[in-house]
C-alpha cells in the first residue's frame, strides 16, 4: 500500500508539472492575448519596487492572490509558494533576533518578503496561463530574436519528455540496485542511495537529450526554419492570430485602477509610520 501511494505521488507531481507547463487548467488569463498577459505581468512585477509602504505592498500581495485564483494555479505551485513563504517568515524573525535587530529590521525584512511574494504570485498567474506557443509568440511580437523565442518553446516542449525519461531511468537504477539493509537514523542511508541514483540518472538523460536535439534540428532545417526566421513573411503568418480584445483592455484597466486604489489607500492608512 505504501509503495502504491509513493507511485501515485510521483505520478501526481509529473502531471502537475505538465499541466503547469502547458496551461491546461484554463482560467482568465489563458483566454487573453499573450502580449497583454506579458504586459500585465510586467506591471505587477515592477510596481512593488517603487514603494516602501507596507499597506500598499500588502494590497499588491492580495491582488496577486486574487490573480492566482483567477488563473487557477495548481496545488503543487501553491504548496511550494506557501512553504517558501512560511520559511521566509521564520527566517525574518530568526535573522532579526540573531543579529540584534530591532523593529526596524523586522519591518525591512517583511517589506522585502511582501515585494518578493507579490512578484512571485504575479509570475505564477501569468506564466501558468501561457502555453509554450503563446509565450514564444508574445516574445516574438515584442521583437525578441527568433532563436530565443524558439528556445523557450522548445524548452517547454522538452519538459514532459525529460520528466518521463528521468522517471524511467531512475526506476531502472532502483530495480538493478540492492536495497539498503540498514536504513540508519531517519533513513539517511536510503536517502543517500536515492541521491546517488539521481546523479547517475542524469548521464543517460543528457545522451538522450543530445540525440533528440540533433533530430529536431535536422527536421527544422528540412522544413526551412532558418529561412523563415530571417524572412518577415514567416513572422507575419505566425502572429496573424493575435488580437487584442475588449477583455484584454478591461483586465488591464481594472488592474491599473486597483493598483491606483491600493496606492491611495496606502497613503491614507499606512501600517507603519
Q: Which of 64-68, 171-175, 257-261 has the lowest mean pLDDT?
A: 171-175
Residue 211's Cβ-count burial label (10 Å; 0-12, 13-18, 19+) is exposed
CB-side neighbour CA atoms (13 Å) of 141: 21
Query: How much helix, strand and coil, in percent to the nearest 5, is found in the chain?
Result: 80, 0, 20
pLDDT of 234 over the 80 cut: no
Distance set, CA 264 to CA 115, 144, 257, 268 (Å): 18, 36, 11, 6
How high is the pLDDT of residue 2? 43
| Residue 37 confidence class, pLDDT cut points 50, 70, 90 | very high
Q: Which residues, other chains included, contact 177 with Cβ-Cβ below 8 Å and sequence gap of 6+?
A: 193, 197
* pLDDT of residue 67 exceeding 50: yes
Nearest residue to 66 via CA among 34, 95, 28, 94:
28
* pLDDT one-digit tens code per residue, 176-187: 777 777 776 766
Greater model confidence, 260 or 175? 260
Task: Quote the cell numbers at residue 203.
Answer: 548521464
Helical packing angle, 246-268 and 34-46, nearest 10°: 10
* 5 pLDDT more than 60: no
Query: In the structure, what pLDDT confidence band is assigned to residue 46 with cuts at 50, 70 and 90?
Result: very high
Lowest mean pLDDT among 160-164, 209-213, 222-226: 222-226
Does residue 142 have a pLDDT over 80?
yes
* 204/207 Cα distance (integer angstroms): 5
6 pLDDT above the threshold of 50: no
Better-scored residue on pLDDT, 152 or 253? 253
State percent of the chain over pLDDT 70. 87
**Phi and psi, residue 47, nearest 5°:** -55, -45
pLDDT beyond 60 at 21: yes
240 pLDDT exceeds 90? no
This prediction's pTM: 0.77
Q: Is the pLDDT of residue 3 over 70?
A: no
Q: Quick one: which of 203, 206, 202, 196 has its CA closest to 174?
A: 196
Q: Where are the domains of the chain?
A: 1-130+243-273, 133-242
Chain length of the chain: 273
Amino acid at each position: 500500500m505504501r509503495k502504491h501511494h509513493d507511485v501515485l505521488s510521483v505520478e501526481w507531481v509529473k502531471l502537475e508539472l505538465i499541466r503547469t507547463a502547458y496551461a491546461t487548467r484554463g482560467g482568465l488569463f489563458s483566454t487573453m492575448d499573450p502580449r497583454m498577459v506579458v504586459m500585465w505581468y510586467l506591471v505587477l512585477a515592477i510596481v512593488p519596487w517603487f514603494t516602501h509602504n507596507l499597506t500598499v505592498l500588502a494590497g499588491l500581495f492580495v491582488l496577486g492572490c486574487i490573480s492566482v485564483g483567477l488563473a487557477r494555479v495548481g496545488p503543487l505551485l501553491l504548496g511550494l509558494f506557501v512553504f517558501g513563504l512560511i520559511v521566509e517568515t521564520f527566517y525574518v524573525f530568526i535573522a532579526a533576533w540573531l543579529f540584534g535587530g530591532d523593529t526596524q529590521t523586522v519591518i525591512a525584512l517583511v517589506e522585502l518578503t511582501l515585494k518578493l511574494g507579490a512578484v512571485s504570485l504575479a509570475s505564477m498567474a501569468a506564466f501558468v496561463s501561457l502555453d509554450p506557443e503563446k509565450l514564444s509568440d508574445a516574445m516574438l511580437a515584442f521583437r525578441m530574436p527568433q532563436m530565443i523565442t524558439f528556445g523557450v518553446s522548445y524548452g517547454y516542449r522538452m519538459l514532459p519528455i525529460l520528466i518521463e525519461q528521468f522517471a524511467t531511468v531512475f526506476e531502472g537504477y532502483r530495480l538493478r540496485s540492492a536495497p539498503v539493509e540498514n536504513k540508519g537514523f531517519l533513513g539517511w542511508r536510503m536517502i543517500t542511495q536515492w541521491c546517488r541514483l539521481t546523479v547517475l540518472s542524469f548521464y543517460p538523460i543528457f545522451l538522450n537529450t543530445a540525440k533528440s536535439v540533433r533530430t529536431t534540428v535536422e527536421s527544422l532545417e528540412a522544413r526551412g526554419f532558418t529561412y523563415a526566421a530571417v524572412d518577415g513573411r514567416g513572422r507575419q503568418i505566425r502572429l496573424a492570430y493575435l488580437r487584442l480584445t475588449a477583455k484584454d483592455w478591461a483586465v488591464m484597466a481594472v488592474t491599473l485602477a486597483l493598483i491606483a486604489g491600493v496606492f491611495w489607500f496606502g497613503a491614507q492608512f499606512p501600517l507603519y509610520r
